[in-house]
Amino acid sequence: MSIRKPYSIAVNAIFFLFFLPLMAQHQHDDLHHWEIPSKDPDRIMLTFNGNPATSRAVTWRTDTSVTQAVAQIAEATVNSKFTENAETKAATTEPFDLGLYKGNASLMVNYHSVSFEGLLPDKQYVYRVGDGYDHWSEWIQFRTAKSRYAPTQFVYFGDAQNNVLAHWSRVIRMAYLMAPSASFAIHAGDLINSAHSDQEWAEWYKAGGFIHSQWTAIPVVGNHEFRPVAEGEPRKLALQWRPQFTLPIETDLDPALHETVYTVDHQDVRIIVLNSNELLEEQSAYIEKQLKESQAKWNIITCHHSVFSPAKGRDFQFAREHWRPIFDKYGVDLVLNGHDHTYARGHVPERSSETDSNGSVGTIYVTSVSGPKQYSLDSEQMKTYEEQGYQLDNAAEQTQFFQVITIEGNKLTYVAYTTLGDEYDRAEITKDFKTKKKQLKQ
């Protein structure tokens, strides 16, 4: 062990007491206070990771001083006495360097995650996250799914992407007003514009606020979740994606697809999440397997790119040629897309009446947008889909939407709302679970 001279100790003391805080302050100069990590938990996100009737996962962020974070959970009561029975779970902590992307401040943060297991079905729970001492979130409520088929409601958003805090915040907040008891929310890709930009992720979290921690999220990767980290490098999934979302890992798939391709079974509704950006052929086999093995009464697909694109210059031909036949084969009910910054709802097969010659409609395809970036409809391109057995039922442009989907009994009700909360489009699917035949009312 070396012995330091007194002047050396003094110099070091001055550095740590004066210059180091100034350097840290300089790193924060360009950040809003809600972007700066602290001991207090922020960016709290609830996701599915396991059986929705008995589990949930929560992920959050702090500064690096919190190295041993925890979460507490209890069954909710009508008063605050639930705290007496709260169970404490140690979090998994992952250090993350924002500076890996030069567009971010050079800061280290810690992401923490906990999976709540062994919960009871159809119960209201409260949870909070923190350091276990003085720095806690508020108590946040959610309800586990029922273990049987039961009414389900969820919300679906197309691209938020641009000016998220300024212009998407009112959309998600209006959605919460219209469907406060929704069980989950599907974010169909392009949550932000520049994949690795922490400032944009900060906006996305602030725009949703507590809603992100209360509605369980089903995030879908879009093309804007992929960007080079540095010039000349290949595209890479958003550096924050896996640290900030705790999602199911399909171990049979290529690791590049982990936490971007997964399946959620919620009360006899199967939601299959796809990555429409890469390794598409491998996902064809995954889709086939998930649909073939599905025992769900309703099967829903969500991916970012639109199978029947309504916008100029867009064409997801692979999906129409390779994925759509699988959807047809297994009678997929809904396909929910984004990407095209317009609105279109249609179905196959095309018929002039409400049903085809067998008395049943096929898959309903929806493309939607929730953010301010808007494109024009390509009516000529939409006409070419008619030859492929597609019928356009409703469309719009220059409008921000959110969708509320309600499933009860043998009926699925789909409603698209504008950001003003006005109903724009409605469709009802009535299904015979024995024959799998469906009728469409609109």
If asked whether residues 184 and 325 sit together in one domain, one would say: yes
One-letter amino acid identity for 215?
A: W
Residue matched to tokens 């999602």: 247
Q: What share of the chain is helix, strand, coil (3-state, %, to 5)?
A: 25, 30, 45
Render pLDDT for 358-387 as a digit per residue (tens, 0 to 9): 457 999 999 999 999 999 999 999 999 999
- Spatial distance between the Cα atoms of 158 and 270, rounded to a whole number of angstroms: 19
Q: 236-261, pLDDT tens digit by residue?
A: 999 999 999 999 999 999 999 999 99
Residues 284, 210 share a domain: yes
Q: Considering the domain boundaries, does residue 27 fall inside one?
A: no
pLDDT reading at 26 higher than 60 = no
Give kind and range of the element (H or E) at residue 22.
Answer: helix 20-28
| Token code pair at residue 4 | 């330091």
User: Does 331 share its domain with 374?
Assistant: yes
From edge to edge, which strands make up the β-sheet containing 70-75?
87-90, 70-75, 124-130, 140-143
In this structure, the strands spanning 269-273 and 298-302 are parallel
pLDDT 10s digits, 294-353: 999 999 999 999 999 999 889 999 999 999 999 999 999 999 999 999 999 999 875 544
Given a cut of 70, is residue 204 above it in pLDDT?
A: yes
For the record, the structure tokens of 160 come out as 């938020």
Q: Are residues 180 and 299 in the same domain?
A: yes
Q: Return d(Cα 192, Cα 34) in angstroms, integer.
A: 17
- Number of structural domains found in the chain: 2
Whether residue 413 sits in one domain with residue 299: yes
Other CB atoms within 10 A of residue 11 CB = 12
Please determine, for residue 19, whether its predicted confidence score (pLDDT) is greater than 60. no
The confidence score (pLDDT) of residue 18 equals 52
From the CB of residue 334, how many other CB atoms can be counted at a distance below 10 Å?
23
CATH number (domain holding residue 109):
2.60.40.380
Q: What is the pLDDT of residue 320?
A: 95
Own/partner pairs for 279-284, CB < 8 Å, 24+ apart?
279/254, 280/318, 280/319, 280/322, 281/322, 282/253, 282/254, 282/257, 283/253, 283/257, 283/323, 284/322, 284/323, 284/326
Contact 250, 239 (CB under 8 A): no
Q: What is the mean pLDDT of the chain?
A: 92
- Dihedral, CA atoms, 389, 395, 398, 403, nearest 10 degrees? -100
End-to-end CA distance of the chain: 80
Q: Which of 315, 319, 279 is nearest to 303 (CA)?
A: 319
Residue listed under structure tokens 């196959």:
348
Residue 21 has pLDDT above 80, yes or no: no
Question: Residue 262 falls within a domain, yes or no?
Answer: yes
Partner residues linked to 125 by β-bridges = 75, 142
**Local structure of residue 136 (DSSP, 8 states):** B
Q: How many helices (H) and strands (E) does the chain have?
A: 10, 24
**How far is residue 62's CA from residue 42's CA, in Å, rounded to a whole number?**
7
Residue where a domain terminates, one of 124, 143, 162: 143
Q: What angle do CA 371, 376, 378 make, to 5 degrees?
A: 135
| DSSP H stretches of helix in 140-279 | 169-178, 198-208, 211-214, 241-244
Flag whether 352 is in a domain: yes
Tell whether 278 and 332 lie within a shared domain.
yes
Does some domain include residue 249? Answer: yes
Q: Examine the domain organization and report whether 134 and 193 are in the same domain.
A: no
63, 154 Cβ separation under 8 angstroms:
no
pLDDT (0 to 100) of residue 312: 87
Q: Quote the domain boundaries for residue 80.
A: 42-143
Report yes or no on 22 lying in a domain.
no
Report the relative pairing of strands 343-347 and 391-396 from DSSP bridges. antiparallel
Residues 124 and 158 in one domain: no
Domain end (from 126, 143, 160): 143
List pLDDT tens digits, range 100-111: 999 999 999 999
Of 143, 167, 199, which closes a domain?
143
- Whether residue 195 lies inside any domain: the answer is yes
Amino acid identity of residue 362, one-letter, is G
348 and 212, same structural domain? Answer: yes
Establish how many alpha carbons lie within 13 A of residue 335's alpha carbon, considering only the half-sphere containing its beta carbon. 30
State phi, psi for 28 to the nearest 5 degrees: -95, -10
Q: Is 6 a domain residue?
A: no
Strand partners, 270: 265, 299
Do 165 and 122 lie in a common domain?
no
pTM across the whole model: 0.92
304 closest CA partner among 261, 274, 343: 274
Question: What pLDDT is recorded for position 6?
Answer: 45
Domain assignment present for residue 60? The answer is: yes
Separation between Cα atoms, residue 3 and residue 199, nearest integer Å: 45
Q: What percent of the chain has pLDDT over 90?
A: 88
- Label the pairing between strands 56-62 and 226-228: unpaired
Kindly report the CATH number assigned to the domain that includes residue 270.
Answer: 3.60.21.10
Give residue 376's pLDDT: 94
Same domain, yes or no: 389 and 299: yes
In this predicted structure, what is the pLDDT of residue 313? 86
pLDDT over 70 at 7, yes or no: no
Q: Are 111 and 206 in the same domain?
A: no
